Amino acid sequence: ETGVTQTPRHLVMGMTNKKSLKCEQHLGHNAMYWYKQSAKKPLELMFVYNFKEQTENNSVPSRFSPECPNSSHLFLHLHTLQPEDSALYLCASSQEAAALAKNIQYFGAGTRLSVL
Amino acid sequence: GQNIDQPTEMTATEGAIVQINCTYQTSGFNGLFWYQQHAGEAPTFLSYNVLDGLEEKGRFSSFLSRSKGYSYLLLKELQMKDSASYLCAVPGGYNKLIFGAGTRLAVHP
């Protein structure tokens, strides 16, 4: 148990569906992250929120829409996805997002998404 | 920009020692992280190096050479539960952690 919980663990959706991924952290952190992990590829940073404000959007298509209502919760809203969006979506949190060196990120177990 | 290279797969025998290498290129250096990820689970933090040399933490040690852009993770007395992917990562500027593709380690009896 890392203190970061993601739901659902598995999701299958059609290209016309709308769904949301949820992440909750119980670590008192102020920064939260969304990553995409595809087979045999590096973890790709998607979004960063620091104190509820979005500080990074790594050129993510608009069919992915993040929401951070407070420092403990992060959502990723999905609509009109493509089959190539099938991947493991990981959420992480850290004390805060900063240029400080030792900014350890704690990850959730991820949501395995399949787009049909 | 940043670039990280690590071997895709490695195999080792239970009880043995294995070294997983990572080379990196960064425009600035703020340390290097190693994470472990078991299949279907969250990546978990293993180590952080910012100064040259070897840092030991139980069966796992991590080494860094900043001048060579090189790090390795050393796993001793391998156990079956050490079968996992090992991810090397460096800070890539404000907010960002840049990951390598990971090394999948299989430990055999």
Question: In this complex, do B96 and A4 lie within 8 Å of one another by their Cβ atoms?
Answer: no
Confidence (pLDDT) at A6? 97
Confidence (pLDDT) at A61? 95
Q: Token pair 């395995």 is at which residue? A: A112
Q: Per-residue pLDDT averaged across A78-99, rounded?
A: 89
Report which of A1, A3, A6, A8 is spatially closest to residue A94, judged by C-alpha positions. A3
Confidence of residue B59 (pLDDT cuts 50, 70, 90): very high
Alpha carbons A111 and B86: distance in angstroms, whole number = 20
| B2-58 per-position pLDDT tens digit | 789 999 999 999 999 999 999 999 877 778 999 999 998 899 999 999 999 999 999
- Considering only CB atoms, B31 lies closest to which of A56, A102, A105, namely A102
Asked if A10 has any chain B CB less than 8 Å from its own CB, the reply is no
- Considering only CB atoms, A101 lies closest to which of B31, B42, B98, namely B31
| B83-102 per-position pLDDT tens digit | 999 999 998 776 678 899 99
| A17-71 per-position pLDDT tens digit | 899 999 999 999 999 999 999 988 889 999 999 999 998 888 999 999 999 999 9
Confidence (pLDDT) at A56? 87
A6 to chain B: closest CA residue: B42
Which residues in B lie closer than 8 A to residue A99 (C-beta atoms)? 30, 91, 93-94
Does residue A1 register a pLDDT over 90? no
A 55-84 → B contacts, CB under 8 A: 55-56
| A97-115 per-position pLDDT tens digit | 665 556 789 999 999 999 9
3-state DSSP percent of chain A in helix, strand and coil, to 5: 5, 55, 40
B49 to chain A: closest CA residue: A102
Report which of B92, B105, B101 is spatially closest to residue B32, judged by C-alpha positions. B92
Alpha carbons B45 and A95: distance in angstroms, whole number = 14
